[in-house]
Chains A and B, each alone.
Chain A
Amino acid sequence: MRRLINLQPNRVLKVALGIIPFLLILLAYQIGSDIRKAENEQDKLLPSFSEIAAGINRMAFEPSRRTGDYEFWEDTKSSVKRLSIGIAISATIGLLVGLAAGAIPMIAAPLSPLITAISLIPPMAILPVLFIVFGLGELSKVMLIVIGVSPFLIRDILQRTQELPREQLVKAQTLGGNSWQIILRVILPQIVPRLLDAVRLSLGAAWLFLIAAEAIAATDGLGYRIFLVRRYMSMDIILPYVVWITFLAFTLDWCLLKFSRVVFPWYHAEK
């Protein structure tokens, strides 16, 4: 008998074992829902799968009676737009500031303590400030993501830049590179895949800030919708929305990873 720590599941078994927990959760839900429905036909807490399907159909495939829009898709569009703008701005700030500070000690000296301090501010605590300053429109929601995510990205990129082997930078200098050339040709190309890693790690936080901002002040968006229908205890809508948000988060993460693998194969081979 081989040791347990040496037993590896084969491909098929691995996939099967991976799916089982999901099936168990669905089964548990089904049982729970049945028990509650048996007691009370009108129970809203654990709607049956058919009710959930009806909820999805109502939101995604029938125009809203009030606005004539397909609300599910409108919500998705608004949320994804806010999230991507927020992430794009944060990544740009993170890359530029982190790279400059990481590569140039004279920039790191004044910036590094400031960024550490800013990154410790709980972003949710200044959400009211954002609403006051930027109004209740799109800008304040995007700004919350930027403020929440970019300090983390700056610090991460700063650290990754400083972690590049010193030998490479010395080598580049003996090849005649000036500071700017070395940043452009040696540091930047090696930092971009690390930025993608950092962005993937920050996606969770970005979703959190997006949904929080939408819950508090918005007229559409996935976060807005689930907090709106909470008033009617519409679990048949909230649950599929949550699954959908999770799916979007997973897809975005997966796309970034795939992109990084294709564009920076040397980076992934190195690890």
Chain B
Amino acid sequence: MSAFIQLDRLAKNYGDNVVLENLNCKVAEGEFVTLVGASGCGKSTFLKLLLGTESVSSGQLLMAGKPIEQEPSPDRGIVFQRYSVFPHLNVRENVALGVEFVESKWLGRLFGKRRKEALAQADELLSAVGLEQARYKYPHELSGGMQQRLALAQALIKRPKVLLLDEPFGALDPGIRKEMHDLVLGLWRQYGLTIFMVTHDLKEGFHLGTRLWVFDKIRHDPHAPDRFGSTITYDLSLQSKDKALTIAAIDEINAQLHGAEKTTEPTQS
């Protein structure tokens, strides 16, 4: 397997608080990795390492053979659960901003013909995510699902190699969530993305991913809960989509997660 993203004895700690330890994995280009685990298990921290807003404490996190940049950059797009879009710009402008940043070094703003071209590019992405009807609306006029569609379009205009999704559908209604799943799967194929998606919803993880990682602690010290960090306890390939196997795995992982997190899990499902 050619490794596009490579984790090599990767660890992350804040002082004495070890969050992640001993992560070893290789991810090929075009995979769809879903990250699940109890809250506080470090899956979001791992996403931040990929994003570049947090830095690796020890070990290596490589992208295409080079350590990942310690700052967010256009090759790694992001969609957060909330606040991913700019409230002061309308839908088209939100998407076109990514073009304007590149083409207008000083003002970050295009005028006249070049602006029209940028907006036309934005329109293309907006029809890909099904927002062409809402082009002139402002984010506060959009529903939660439409805002997430917009956030996806924004990210995609940069043609990122990697798309990071941090519980993007966590705040949406179940019906809308289903639509968004289809949309993301479509975009993933269409744009040849490598996706890392953090989710609380194990079923969502199984449904979307080609690969599912479960983050959990292997070692526990009851007197010092922060001493040991989480690692990837399951690395499941979901290519086959064998139903019986999947159901068995869901049950097993569920049992493990519920064991670790009795109090918070029921509210999330």
Residues on A close to B: CB < 8 A? 165, 167-168, 170-178, 180-182, 184-186, 189-190, 264-267, 269-270
Contact = CB atoms under 8 A, between A and B. Distances in A.
Contact of A171 (B71, B139, B154): B154
Shortest 3 CB-CB distances between A and B: which pairs?
A: A181-B108, A165-B83, A173-B72
A178 B111 CA distance: 19
B106 interface: yes
A184 B80 CA distance: 23
Given A170-B53, A270-B87, A177 B108 contact: yes
B77 interface: yes
Contact of B109 (A170, A185, A266): A185
Contact of B88 (A171, A172, A173, A267): A267
Nearest to B160: A174
Contacts of B83: 165, 167-168, 171
B156 to A, nearest CB: 11
A175 B101 contact: yes
B140 interface: yes
B211 interface: no
Interface residues of B, number: 38
Nearest to A169: B72
Contacts of A170: 51, 53, 72, 78, 80
B138 interface: yes
A168 B86 contact: yes
B74 A174 contact: yes
Contacts of B51: 170, 174
A134 B69 CA distance: 53
Contacts of A264: 88
A44 B71 CA distance: 72
Contacts of A172: 86, 97, 101
A170 B86 CA distance: 12
Contacts of B84: 167-168, 171
A269 B90 CA distance: 13
B102 interface: yes
A266 B101 CA distance: 22
Interface in B64-100: 71-74, 76-78, 80, 82-88, 97-98, 100
B1 interface: no
Given A184-B108, A266-B138, A174 B73 contact: yes
B154 A176 contact: no
Contacts of A174: 51, 72-74, 76-78, 155, 158, 160
Contact of B74 (A167, A168, A175, A184): A175
Contacts of A181: 101, 104-105, 107-108
B53 A270 contact: no
A195 to B, nearest CB: 13
B148 to A, nearest CB: 13
A186 B86 contact: yes
Contacts of B102: 176
Contacts of B101: 172, 175-178, 181, 185
B107 A184 contact: yes
11 contacts: A167-B82, A170-B80, A171-B83, A171-B84, A171-B154, A175-B101, A175-B155, A176-B101, A177-B101, A178-B101, A185-B101
